[in-house]
Amino acid sequence: MATHRKARTALLSAPGPRAAVGLTTAALATVTLLGETASAAPAPGKPAPQPSIAEVKAKVDALMHQAEVATENYNGVKELTDQQNSKVNELLTQAAQKTQALNDARRVLGQYAAAQYRSGGDDTTSRYLLSDDPQQLVDQAHLTDVLSKRQRQAVETYRVRQAAATQQRIEAAKSLAALTARQAQLKSAKAAVQTKLGQAQHLLNSLNAQEKQRLARLRAQQEAEAKARAAALAARIAAKEKAAQEAAAKAAKAAAARTTATAGTTATTSTTSTTSASTASTAAEKAIAFARDQIGKPYVWGATGPDSFDCSGLTQAAYKAAGIDLPRTTYDQVDAGTRVAESDLRPGDLIFFYSDVSHVGLYIGNGEMIHAPHTGTVVKIAPITEMPFYGAVRPY
């Protein structure tokens, strides 16, 4: 009689805990924390491959960008909150003043009421009939009439001031409610910034020393590539500017050959144009000089100086030093001047990045800018090609 034995199932094909343990052990033995992703699809039950260093950097950069978007939103809300707070203080001061005026009117009205009570009211007819001196009574009646008019004026003054005080209190209450709503928005915007920064920092903290070195090398490589692109852009800008200067010189030479009257007019126009360009150049130079003095100071979101800056806080402060007031946020600064093409950039122009206009830098020439990048960095010089270009503005 034959012995029937049940066939053994292969270890790796058998379902259940033992197979799971075997797969997990194999995965941990062959996959590092941030190893490069294999081209083949992972086997069922195998842990998902860890992201590559390039993927980690892309994720961190995306979170930093989102944090900057949230920062500009915060800056806008904070500006509105500060304005609303000033309005509330002004309305409360006006309400207090109107309340004091109302109290003064009430006091005068009370004095008239007390005087009338003490005199027993107006009994002009009886006093006229019983008076020994009718002329004196006429004089008294005239005085009474004057006092009555003053009483009516006091009543009217009280009524007007009461209405004004009531309206002022209503406006102050509405403004306070608006301020409370702004403060809630400000709190939410602040939380959004902190959340994105926290996520980015958590991701960076998960890297070991070797992975951080690889990340640093990748960043250095990308920065070098951005510098090369910036140099090429600067060369194109310089070539275009040279061509424009040569064309202007040629036009000036042709104008000099015209009649004396025409030449005189041209000279006057040229002088005016040169003066205007000189003034603009001075403003740009002052803004750039201020920005250079801030190099090395830390980026702090929401900061406008003097010890730290965010991107729009730096550009706002730089042009304030040049006597030009810029709005607070990138969203408003992008409309504060004349739009210029990337190929027409001049030192002093504001350069904006990303389709959401969430970052700004100050162009200094040679394809470079001074900007405050993001949390964990400092104000520095960088190539303008390291971020996607949105547009440029000449604010002078």
Residues that are catalytic: 311, 359, 371
What's the angle, vertex CA 122, arms to CA 120 and CA 124, rounded to 5?
Answer: 125
Please tell me the number of Cα atoms within 13 Å of 203 on its side-chain side.
23
Separation in Å, CA 175 to CA 169, 179, 185, 283, 372 = 10, 6, 15, 39, 35
Reference 48, options 38, 58, 57, 56; nearest CA is 38
Distance between CA atoms of residues 222 and 133, nearest Å: 110
CA 15 to chain CA mean position, Å: 58
Read off φ and ψ for residue 36, nearest 5 degrees: -65, 145
Please provide the distance, in angstroms rounded to a whole number, between the alpha carbons at the two ends of the chain: 105
User: Token pair of 37, please?
Assistant: 């992703």
Dihedral angle over CA of 279, 285, 290, 295, nearest 10: 160
Q: How many CB atoms lie within 10 A of CB 395?
A: 21
Q: What is the DSSP string of 215-267?
A: HHHHHHHHHHHHHHHHHHHHHHHHHHHHHHHHHHHHHHHHHHTS-HHHHHHHH
The span from the CA of 19 to the CA of 11, in Å, is 6
Cβ neighbours for 54, distance < 8 A, ≥ 6 positions apart: 218
- 3-class state of residue 123 by DSSP: coil
In the sheet that holds 338-340, the strands lie side by side as 338-340, 389-394, 350-353, 359-365, 368-371, 380-383
Q: By the 8 A CB rule, do 238 and 365 touch? A: no
Query: Residue 153 and residue 166: Cα distance in Å, rounded?
Result: 20
Cα separation of 295 and 371, whole Å? Answer: 9
